[in-house]
Amino acid sequence: MKTPLIDPFARPISYLRVSVTDRCDFRCVYCMSENMTFLPKKELLTLEELDRMCSTFIGLGVEKLRITGGEPLVRKGIMTFFHAMTRHLESGTLKELTLTTNGSQLERYADELYAAGVRRINISLDTLDEQKFADITRWGRLPQVLKGIEAAKKAGLRVKINTVALKGFNEDELFTLTEWCQREEMDLTFIEVMPMGDIGNEDRLDQYWPLKDLRTTLAERYTLTDLAHRTGGPARYVRLEETGQQIGFITPLTHNFCESCNRVRLTCTGELFMCLGQEDNADLRAPLRLHPDSDAPLEEAIRAAIKLKPKGHDFDYDRQSVGGKMTRHMSHTGG
């Protein structure tokens, strides 16, 4: 066993999030501008390079691999990559292979994902109103996503819904979404909108709904009990005593969750971001391509990057401005 990855603050790095494409079939208003310019395909890591990159991280102690995008399932041939990762699950070196998706392609791929060893997925869904869904995704169709969710559950996948809390948009659906997830036996996590990239005419401050306010509203109907449960990600969980369901809160702005961070993010072009909320990154594509017959230079580059992992991010909203804003879009880094 090689020496595991430990950052400067004694946090072991065991979780890798990998964006396999910056492309998406939606244009969510908090994530992308309507007319996005996507990366040339030649700049993206090939599926074989993604395999080698992820396998190297797994060899250095990464136990959880989450595939993201953009929308990962729109990447041509992506199931080849998922099936390739199955060997690490079978060997026991990889504990979990999962993905975050908008659900649009799940009706097509749910059974194959399960066959590749995926057991749990996150689906991004911010409203159950068909017109509002079309408005916020610009290009999306809610019935297609709901069919995908049904297909995922039928295939045996455990589904968690991720909902971005948006002021003036889905505040009135807080209880509707909660009750729907209870009926469908799905977990639910709310996320504060993050200042990532230029999104055109949308105003970050207008979108921002602090989760402490959401939680206060939720407590008007339910008894909330804080849980010590963690899944390796940034969410903090509560149990609704009246229903027994678990609700997560990801609060990069009202609560900095960085003290226990165990993850890094790899972009589809081979950049490693040690923190979602910092611009520092390391180029791993160069050592990967310059040394096709040896992983040693890539391992060295990974270890050097981990030594630069910061203590935390600087996301902040005050009454007048957005602090810590990133120039890159979430679809580039991986959602």
In a domain, 32, yes or no: yes
More confident position, 261 or 237: 237
In a domain, 3, yes or no: no
Residue 93 has pLDDT above 70, yes or no: yes
In a domain, 238, yes or no: yes
Q: For the domain that residue 79 is a member of, what is the CATH number? A: 3.20.20.70
Most confident segment among 154-168, 249-263, 266-280? 154-168
In a domain, 78, yes or no: yes
Could you list the beta-strand ranges (E) of 236-306: 236-240, 246-250, 263-266, 271-273, 281-283
Q: Is 19 annotated as a binding residue?
A: no
Residue 161 near residue 188, CB atoms below 8 Å: yes
Residue 199 has pLDDT above 50, yes or no: no
**Confidence bin at 105 (pLDDT 50/70/90):** very high
Q: What percent of the chain has pLDDT over 70?
A: 84
Q: Is 243 annotated as a binding residue?
A: no
43-56 residue pLDDT tens: 999 999 999 999 99
Q: Is 216 annotated as a binding residue?
A: no
Q: Is 181 annotated as a binding residue?
A: no
Q: End-to-end distance of the chain based on CA atoms, in angstroms?
A: 31
In a domain, 137, yes or no: yes
What are the distances in angstroms from CA 4 to CA 52, 263, 274, 301? 18, 13, 16, 14
In a domain, 259, yes or no: yes
* Encoded amino acid at 229, one letter: H
**Confidence bin at 330 (pLDDT 50/70/90):** low
Residue 329 has pLDDT above 80, yes or no: no
Instruction: Pick the closest to residue 119 from 66, 75, 162 (CA basis).
Output: 66
Residue 319 has pLDDT above 50, yes or no: no
Q: Is 100 annotated as a binding residue?
A: yes
In a domain, 86, yes or no: yes
Q: Is 268 annotated as a binding residue?
A: no
User: Which domain covers residue 263, as residue numbers?
Assistant: 15-333
The pLDDT of residue 232: 58
Q: What would the mean pLDDT of 98-117 be, rounded to a whole number? A: 98
**Confidence bin at 317 (pLDDT 50/70/90):** very low
Q: Is 265 annotated as a binding residue?
A: yes
Number of folded domains that form the chain: 1
The pLDDT of residue 256: 52
In a domain, 2, yes or no: no
**Confidence bin at 196 (pLDDT 50/70/90):** very low
Q: What is the DSSP string of 302-325?
A: HHHHHTT--S----EE-SS-EES-
Q: Is 124 annotated as a binding residue?
A: yes
